[in-house]
Amino acid sequence: MSNAVEIRDLHYRAGKSFEIRELALNVPTGSMYGFLGPNGSGKTTTIRLILGLLRAQRGTITVLGGRVPEETPRILARTGYVPESPHLYPSLTVAEAMRFHAAFYPTWDPRWAADLQETFGLESQSLVGRLSKGERGKLEMLLALAQRPELLVLDEPTDGLDPVVRRDLLTALLDHVSQHNATVFISSHLVHELERICDWVGVMDRGRLVAELPMHSFKSGIKRLRVANAPALLGDTPFVVLSREPGEGAAEMWTVRGWQAPMSQWISGVGATLRDVIDLDLEEGFVELLRTFRGPRA
């Protein structure tokens, strides 16, 4: 499988308080890649590095087969971007903003732009500076989608928007992906939202990539186990133990990653008894990963 975005051994420092270290990241072509992490984890910085808006101290970035920053203009011509903060001129009308944006992209689809404008309920003569937050979010998404990009990079595109607006934006996004097999790299801290639409997930914290795997592996592989009579020392386990806490009576609660049903034989082999296997949703798994990643540093 080819990758729309590849990052290798990336290092970037911003002042004395924050750095990205040894970042390696793969966004498969045609995937919906959810980029998760708490505020300040490095998600937006990583996006700016991918788009050539920042320069790394070390490492390589390849986007749509081209190297960043050497081939950034060619890459950006094929990339749609919705930033975390609006970047539209407030003195333009909606129609003027659309014409201005279209002038930079030969792939601009005027018919679909008009359809999106109608779907989103954006009046042509409305001033951008007087649009509500939801309307600005719709216009940003319209401009990114109407250029028919091969890669869409979305930085918290639905943050602070009401559920109806979020639904409209995600519906338009999924329509574009289904029609053009586009790749989407979407950063968010709204875990439940990404769980519904993404097939890959990367988790970022404190400038490091904590995990990167298919969404189904993330959801099915992180479990909470109720184990009785567990030995004090586990030794080598066929799964990763994220946390181990006292339970009721002689039982313990383990949170594990990489779990598969046949691994229950390993538990019985060390003299313990597996009492229960509890599924976790994406948000619970996300929290456990962060808690474990931060544990040794706490």
Fold category of 3-206 in CATH? Rossmann fold (3.40.50)
- At 1 the pLDDT is 54
Q: Work out the average pLDDT over 134-142.
A: 92
Q: Reply yes or no on whether the pLDDT at 286 is more than 70.
A: yes
Closest CA to 193 of 223, 219, 167, 230: 167
Can you name the residues that pair with 203 across neighbouring β-strands?
Answer: 36, 211
182 pLDDT more than 90: yes
Residue 212 is encoded by which pair of tokens?
Answer: 């990167």
Neighbour count for residue 40 (Cβ, 10 Å) = 13
The CA distance from 44 to 74, in Å, is: 22
Q: Considering only 62-71, 103-112, 228-237, which range has the smallest mean pLDDT?
A: 228-237
The residue ranges of every structural domain in the chain are 3-206, 217-297
**Within 13 A of 92's CA, how many CA atoms are on the CB side?**
13
Query: Which amino acid appears at position 32 of this protein?
Result: M
The whole-number pLDDT of residue 281 equals 80
What is the amino acid identity at position 76? L
pLDDT above 70 coverage of the chain, percent: 98
Report pLDDT digits (tens) over 229-271.
Answer: 999 898 899 998 888 888 877 799 998 988 999 999 999 999 9
Separation of alpha carbons 22 and 24, rounded Å:
6
Residue with tokens 């420092």: 13
Asked if 195 contacts 16 with a C-beta cutoff of 8 angstroms, the reply is: no
pLDDT classification of 154: cutoffs 50, 70, 90: very high
Q: Report the C-alpha gap between 124 and 152 in whole angstroms.
A: 25
Mean pLDDT across the stretch 135-144? 93
Tell the residue number behind the tokens 């559920």, with chain if given. Answer: 163
State the chain's mean pLDDT as an integer: 91
Average pLDDT over every residue of 61-88:
94
Q: Between residues 181 and 118, which one has the greater pLDDT?
A: 118
Nearest to 189 by CA among 212, 160, 210: 160
β-pair partners for 122: none
What pLDDT digit, counting tens, does each position of 9-51 carry?
Answer: 999 998 888 899 999 999 999 999 999 998 889 999 999 999 9
Tell me how far apart the alpha carbons of residues 147 and 155 are, in angstroms, rounded to a whole number. Answer: 18
pLDDT of residue 297 exceeding 50, the answer is: no
Rounded CA-CA distance 255/168 in Å is: 36
**Span 95-107, pLDDT tens digits:** 999 999 999 999 9
